[in-house]
Amino acid sequence: MTQENFRNTVNQWLDNNFPDELAHQAPDAADAAQLEIWETWRQRLAEAGWGAPTWPKEYGGAALSHDQATMLREEFSKRGALNHIPILANMGVTMVGPTILDYGTEAQKKKHLPATARGEIAWCLGLSEPNAGSDLASLATKAELAGDQFVINGQKIWTTRAHQSQWCGAVVRTDPSATKHNGISFVMLPMDQDGVEPRLIRLISGSSPFCETFFNDARADKADLLGELNDGWAVVKRLLQHERQSQTGTVKRPSIIQQEPLYERAKRYLQMDEQGRLADADLRTRIAENLMQENAHKLTVARIAAEAAGNPKVSAAASILKNSNTIIRQAQAELTLEIMGSQGLYWESSGDNPGEEELAITREWLQGKSASIVGGTFEVQNNIISKNILGLPETTQKNN
């Protein structure tokens, strides 16, 4: 099928299935009537396999190529049609599911992937710990095999949406006598059990998806061990590659800052010169530079995705994309606040506040600061780039 024919097929499907009232909208938990429409839209996406479009059809996907998936996202974006299944699944579509495709048994794929691709279950990840953040291999959460189950004890932190997830993919230590990169395993466990307690972490932005999660004799079936026992580091590295890829801008939550191009917002807030340009030439230049960087990033994402298609080898390219996306998005937020001036610094409703846009932008700007940390810190990504791409020597620690 040619690109033009595929785009036509997507648009015909949208004509027949996308509810117009959802255009350029995101789900609002307070609007029950709208949520019913969102549920209908989710079901239609799931039936088409477009919640996880590149996955095989037998696991709930549509078996699209990476190029077709890119075109699908582009046509959805033109309509303002949000594919919210990856958001509903949390880490499921972007991270856990692809790793199950890489390392899972046939039974694990059939058990976990279809419901994830339909957005019927959400996944969180138990990776970082209070004393093992960037140095993930120093984790202390342990799992001991008891019959056909692992018994898990320990604590994880920054577990995104753990309080709303049905399943958790957790990296645990199964052989405490092994060196730190060995003796690690990756297990999948249900969150709805007495031994699992997620607690929300409040952030400066006023809301938070992050939790600290406590495991107290939590249980995971031995059949839900992903990969080989004590060889989970290979699984974790692949999962982290998928995580960084998911943070490059190819999959994203609705953003109020990105809903309007910087130059369009500037026209609303700032003075224009006699030629219809921003009067502030320096700001005009920085907005143009950010736009060029964003377009270059998108082209690089497409190139790297094409090169990686069908190649299971762990690559450091995702670290480049993760950091470049962080730089671009944080710069967009800073430019947005500069454009809005004092109106970009509202914190709560008041008589002087002209609407909710300013409040949302302030909070998103603050929330965006975490992009330098989530998915591996900016500095850790730079270390990966320096060692694995530039070939620079390791100077921070000895390999175990």
Angle between helices 281-308 and 66-79 (to 10 degrees): 140
Radius of gyration of the chain (CA): 22
Q: Between the ranges 77-86, 161-170, 238-247, 344-353, where is the mean pLDDT highest?
A: 161-170
Name the average pLDDT for the chain: 86
Q: How many domains does the chain have?
A: 3
- Asked whether residue 340 is domain-assigned, the answer is yes
pLDDT band at 299 (very low <50, low <70, confident <90, very high): confident
Position 70 scores a pLDDT of 86
Q: Which one is predicted more confidently, 392 or 224?
A: 224
Position 238 scores a pLDDT of 87
Residue 325 confidence (pLDDT) above 80: yes
pLDDT band at 190 (very low <50, low <70, confident <90, very high): very high
Last residue of a domain, one of 93, 117, 141: 117
Q: Which one is predicted more confidently, 386 or 244?
A: 386
Position 312 scores a pLDDT of 52
Least confident range of 84-93, 319-328, 379-388: 379-388
CA 170 to chain CA centroid, nearest Å = 17
Kindly state the helix (H) or strand (E) to which residue 88 belongs, with its residue range: helix 85-88
Kindly state the helix (H) or strand (E) to which residue 186 belongs, with its residue range: strand 184-190
- Asked whether residue 239 is domain-assigned, the answer is no
3-state secondary structure 247-311: CCCCCCCCCCCCCCCHHHHHHHHCCECCCCCECCHHHHHHHHHHHHHHHHHHHHHHHHHHHHCCC
Kindly state the helix (H) or strand (E) to which residue 200 belongs, with its residue range: strand 196-200
Residue 197, by phi and psi: left (phi above 0), alpha (psi -120 to 50) or beta? Answer: beta
Containing structural domain, residue 83: 3-117
Q: What is the mean pLDDT of residues 163-175?
A: 95
Position 317 scores a pLDDT of 74
CATH of the domain at 155: 2.40.110.10
pTM for the structure as a whole: 0.77
* Tokens read off for 116: 């994830």
40-79: burial string, b at 16+ Cβ within 10 Å, e else:
ebbeebbeebbbbbbbeeebbbbebebebbbbbbebbeeb
Percent with pLDDT over 70 in the chain: 89
Same domain, 336 and 287: yes
Position 251 scores a pLDDT of 47
Catalytic residue among 120, 212, 243, 294: 243
3-state secondary structure of 91: coil
Position 308 scores a pLDDT of 63
Nearest to 319, CA basis, from 168, 134, 142, 182: 134
- Asked whether residue 218 is domain-assigned, the answer is yes
Angle between helices 281-308 and 317-340 (to 10 degrees): 160
Same domain, 252 and 375: yes
Last residue of a domain, one of 189, 207, 231: 231
Position 208 scores a pLDDT of 77
Same domain, 48 and 103: yes
pLDDT band at 255 (very low <50, low <70, confident <90, very high): confident
- Asked whether residue 396 is domain-assigned, the answer is no
Tally the residues of the chain.
400
Same domain, 224 and 256: no
Q: What is the mean pLDDT of residues 351-356?
A: 59
Q: What gap in Å lies between CA 156 and CA 214, rounded to an integer?
A: 6
- 243 carries an active-site annotation: yes
Predicted confidence (pLDDT) per residue in 67-120, tens digit: 898 899 989 988 889 999 999 999 999 999 999 999 999 999 999 999 999 999
- Asked whether residue 284 is domain-assigned, the answer is yes
Residue 400 confidence (pLDDT) above 50: no
Position 67 scores a pLDDT of 84
Residue 243 confidence (pLDDT) above 90: no
Position 321 scores a pLDDT of 82
- Asked whether residue 263 is domain-assigned, the answer is yes
Last residue of a domain, one of 62, 87, 117: 117
Nearest to 242, CA basis, from 380, 136, 96: 96
Position 283 scores a pLDDT of 92
CA 78 to chain CA centroid, nearest Å = 21
Q: Which one is predicted more confidently, 201 or 105?
A: 105
Q: What gap in Å lies between CA 97 and CA 100, rounded to an integer?
A: 5
- Asked whether residue 400 is domain-assigned, the answer is no
CATH of the domain at 98: 1.10.540.10
